[in-house]
Amino acid sequence: MGRKLADIFNECYERLLQGESVESCLKRYPKEATKLEPLLKVASTLHTKAASIQARPEFKWQTGIRLEGAFLYNQRQKLAAVKASISLRRSWALALTIILAALIAGAGTAAASTQALPDEPLYPVKLATEQVRLSLAFSDIAKTELHARFAENRAWEIAQMVPQGESTNIVMVTERLDAHLEQAEECALHTPTVKAPEEKALAPTPVPAPAPLVTSATAPQSAKAAKLRTFLEYSAARNIATLEQALEQAPEEAKPGIRLAIEMTKKRYEKILKRIEERGGLPSQGEPQAEEENTFPSLPQLPEGNFREEGRIPHIPLWFDHKP
Amino acid sequence: MADISGVADEVLVREAIGGNQSAFAQLYDKHFDKIYRYVYLKVGIRVEAEDLTQEVFLKALGAISSYKWRQVPFSSWLFRIAHNEVIDYFRKQKKKEKTHFNNNVYDTKEDPVMVAESSFEKGELMAALQKLSPAQREVISLRFSSELSIAEVAKTLGKREGTVKALQDSATVALRKILSKKKNG
């Protein structure tokens, strides 16, 4: 069978399906009628025979009912899934919003609270933020430094309150200042010990070379202790300078309290530095050691410029956050 | 619910995917008989053909949201499901397809009246189809019993339209010879 006849046969079969008769189709193609007629009759017969294959009406109806039920079930499932998805997304969105709001508000509030004074609403936030920072500090060295920093904050607050004559709050803040330094001393007691190298008793010493004070294993600890000591010296200098500045501006009735605060602060720093030294921390380079107990060592020179410029506490990076 | 009687498959499918139950019912009415005939000609047992036809529509319902109109007409997609169901059926039954095209394998559960009226017609048709090649048989089943167009058959079988036409012609010539022999013999 040539391709042309195949196409004609196919076209005629389509016409049969549309209701046209075999005879009508043959009249359209008289030249191919002889070959086309038996094929169309076979196709028509097959179609008629196949048409006798019918499903039972009750089966078709039952299947329709079952499909209807399945369709409704699917729709409900989709709807439930969509609802669950929306609910989940809403929950996540709500949770994220709350977290973001808390973070933004918390960070903003905490930042704003750094300048708060005891009689201001944000002061509790300031103290709470300090407590959080302390709780996040794991080493005693870090805790010692933080307590010293917070003691500086209290000194700054005293200096700010003096012109306002907040005598009650000054006493309260002085107690807090002392408490921080007391805790700094306690933490300094637990800083890691840096041992000096042991001398070999029978070792020949024909030419005594200058031995290192610490072994390579203890060097990092020693470096940390030395840094802490340096920081505490500067902290003491800043703290006392602030309090002395406050003393100059303070009214007469407030001066005894501030003098007491200065004395207490000097003694506390002295003890803290002594603890650090006992644990192996080296005194800062060129710094004379305290010769007598309860004598405050001479303070290092403060950095140039007013570190309380514009009433702001200068930002001092936490050195233990930047390990060498 | 919108009146969707007499609309094209494409519209009905879109409506059904969108949750229009009536649209799916229209698709079911439109294609049920063709699918049943196709399956019946394959398995030759009424009860099995009914179960498989029902399964075809349930699977179509479950998968209709993933149906893509551009790739294949809906009828071709439906017949592909039917084809796969039949393949699975024979795989499960561990029977060869040709066994079911034997005249002696007629369903004993057939309604006696129905058997009396149409068994000859069906038996003769199935016996004739049995003598065709699998490809010819597939084309004739889809084209003459299920009334699919050449394009739909081509899409269903994954063949070119020219190939389907050629198979249709060769199958018709072969069937003519088969039926002539029967008539003369």
Contact A67 B40 (CB under 8 A): no
What whole-number distance in Å separates Cα of residue B138 and Cα of residue B164? Answer: 10
Shared-domain flag, residues A134 and A39: no
Q: Compute the distance between CA of residue B185 and CA of residue A68 in angstroms, rounded to an integer.
A: 50
**A104 lies in a domain?**
yes
Residue of A nearest to B123 (CA): A49
Together in a domain, A150 and A98: no
Find, among B149, B128, B83, the residue nearest to A49 by Cα. B128
d(CA B39, CA A218): 86
CB A147 within 8 A of CB A184: yes
Tell me, yes or no, whether A63 lies in a domain.
Answer: no
What is residue A218's predicted lDDT score, i.e. its pLDDT?
Answer: 52
User: Is position A42 within any domain?
Assistant: yes
Partner B contacted by A100 (CB < 8 A): no
Token code pair at residue B139? 């084309």
* Shared domain check, A156 and A30: no
Answer yes or no: is B3 within a domain.
Answer: no
Domain that holds residue A225: 119-193+217-301
Domain range for B58 is 9-184
What angle, rounded to 10 degrees, do the helices at A33-51 and B112-130 form? 140
- Residue B61 domain-assigned (yes or no): yes
Task: Write out the two tokens for B59.
Answer: 């699977």
Residue A39 has its nearest CB partner, among B24, B50, B172, at B172
In the stretch 13-72 of chain A, residues with CB closer than 8 A to chain B read 13-14, 17, 38-39, 42-43, 45-56, 59-60, 63-64, 66-68, 70-72
A39–B173: do the CB atoms touch at under 8 Å?
Answer: yes
Do A28 and A141 lie in one domain? The reply is no
* Torsion over CA: A105, A111, A112, A118 (sign): positive
pTM, to two decimals: 0.48
Judge whether A208 lies within some domain.
no
Residues of B in contact with A43 (CB under 8 A): 144, 172
**Domains identified in chain A, total number:** 3
Closest CB to B58 among A42, A54, A70: A70
Residue showing tokens 């094209």: B8
Q: Exposed e or buried b for every residue in A66-82, given b needs 16+ CB within 10 A?
A: ebeeebeebeeeeeeee
In a domain, A52, yes or no: no
Q: Do A67 and B57 touch (CB under 8 A)?
A: yes
Q: In the predicted model, is pLDDT for residue B52 greater than 90?
A: yes
DSSP classification of residue A201: T
CATH number for the domain including B162?
1.10.1740.10
A212-239 burial code (b ≥16 CB/10 A, e <16)? eebeeebeebbbbbbbbbbbbbbbbbbb
Q: Are residues A108 and A127 in the same domain?
A: no
A46 to chain B nearest CA, in Å?
6
**Per-residue model confidence as pLDDT tens digits over B82-140:** 999 998 998 887 655 555 554 444 444 444 444 444 555 667 777 888 888 989 989 98
The model's pLDDT over A8-25, given as tens digits with 9 standing for 90+, comes to 888 898 888 888 888 888
User: B57 in contact with A at a CB cutoff of 8 Å?
Assistant: yes
Residue A162 sits in the same domain as residue A286: yes
| pLDDT computed for residue A50 by the predictor | 83
> For chain B, what's the residue count?
185
A8 found inside a domain: yes
Please report residues of B whose CB lies closer than 8 A to that of A46. 125, 128, 140, 144-145, 175
* A209 assigned to some structural domain: no
Residue A159 has, within 13 A of its CA and on its CB side, a CA count of 23
**Region A169-188 average pLDDT:** 85
ipTM above 0.85, yes or no: no
Q: How far is it, in rounded angstroms, from Cα B81 to Cα B106?
A: 24
Read off the pLDDT of residues A78-137 as tens digits, 9 standing for 90 and up: 777 777 777 767 766 776 777 776 677 667 777 777 888 888 888 888 888 888 888 888
Query: Do both A251 and A288 map to the same domain?
Result: yes
Are A163 and A134 members of one domain? yes
Radius of gyration of chain A (CA): 46
Q: What integer pLDDT is reported at residue A72 of this predicted model? A: 82
Establish if A137 belongs to a structural domain.
yes
DSSP assignment letter at A289: P
What pLDDT is recorded for position B38?
92
- Tokens, residue B6: 């007499």
Q: Judge if A105 and A130 occupy the same domain.
A: no
For residue A10, give the nearest of B118, B165, B176 by CB distance. Answer: B165
Are A187 and A235 found together in one domain? Answer: yes
**Structure confidence by residue, pLDDT tens digits, A21-63:** 888 888 988 888 888 888 888 888 888 888 888 888 888 888 8
Looking at A89, A113, A137, the residue that finishes a domain is A113
Which H helix or E strand runs over A103? Answer: helix A57-113
3-state helix, strand, coil in chain B (%, to 5): 75, 0, 25
Chain mean pLDDT for chain A: 74
Could you give the number of structural domains in chain B?
1
Query: A131 — contact with chain B (CB < 8 Å)?
Result: no
Residue A318: pLDDT over 70: no
Backbone angles phi, psi at B96, to 5 degrees: -85, 145
Residue A16 corresponds to which tokens in the numbers above?
Answer: 């049969």
What is the pLDDT confidence band of residue A245, given thresholds at 50, 70 and 90? confident
User: Looking at the predicted structure, is the pLDDT value of residue A244 above 60?
Assistant: yes
Q: What is the pLDDT of residue A151?
A: 92
pLDDT score of B3 more than 50: no
Asked if the structure places residue B116 within a domain, the reply is yes
Backbone angles phi, psi at B67, to 5 degrees: -70, 135
Q: What is the three-class DSSP state of A310?
A: helix
- Co-location of A127 and A224 in the same domain: yes
Closest CA to A268 of A191, A196, A188: A188
Rg (CA), chain B: 17
What tens digit of pLDDT does each residue of B90-99 get? 888 765 555 5
Same domain assignment for residues A99 and A127: no
Predicted local distance difference test score (pLDDT) of residue A221:
64
